[in-house]
Amino acid sequence: MQLLIASQNDNKIQEIRAIFPQWKIEGISTDLFPGELKEEGETLEQNAIQKMRQVFAKTRLNCFADDTGLEVEALNGEPGVDSAYYAGNRNSQANMDLLLKNLGSYSNRSAQFRTVIALNWKGEEHLFEGVCKGTIAEEKMGNDGFGYDPIFIPEGEDKSFAQMSMEEKNALSHRARAIKKLNEFLSKQR
């Protein structure tokens, strides 16, 4: 079964394909969507729905979109919905540097990654959420992954997402947990 994901992010698409091997996951083409999809919502849910609706309106295909935010307790949930543009532009290194600076010497380094998936399945909309609790490291650790992976240590672990293999990360991640719920829903639709 084919599903279109409202993304042109190769890292995200590869991660989702690894979690979801039984589905043919396709990203959106730059021909059909030459720029970035609009994300003007104030919540992860609103952004995921907005992206999914843009893709469905142009393709009329079963599709889903996700939005993910890193929510840091000591920073009142920042960067949250603004995670990708926390430092003003889509630059992972600058975003991590600003977060570590803003967190400074806070002793409370509790955080969570939260992913919301919006699915349009046969014209009906559904939402799925996945959460991974953890802490923010004092410094970047590891070279794999993307986004905030080098500074996020999942609960019960002693290494960052960026120090884990894709299989290790996918066993714990927020996106994997949301996709598992999506998969449970879709497996009942066949």
Q: Of 67, 97, 144, 149, which residue is the catalytic one? A: 67
For this structure, is 67 an active site residue? Answer: yes
Dihedral sign, CA of 52, 56, 59, 62? positive
108-163 pLDDT per residue, tens: 999 999 999 999 999 999 999 999 999 999 999 998 878 999 999 999 999 999 99
In CATH, what number is assigned to the domain containing residue 17? Answer: 3.90.950.10
180: nearest Cα among 190, 171, 169, 168: 171
> What does the pLDDT look like over 41-66, one tens digit per residue?
999 999 999 999 999 999 999 999 99
Which residues are CB-neighbours of 93 under 8 A, at least 6 positions away? Answer: none
Q: The pTM is what?
A: 0.89
Share of the chain above pLDDT 90, in %: 68
Q: How many domains does the chain have?
A: 1
Which residue range(s) make up the domain with 124?
Answer: 2-187
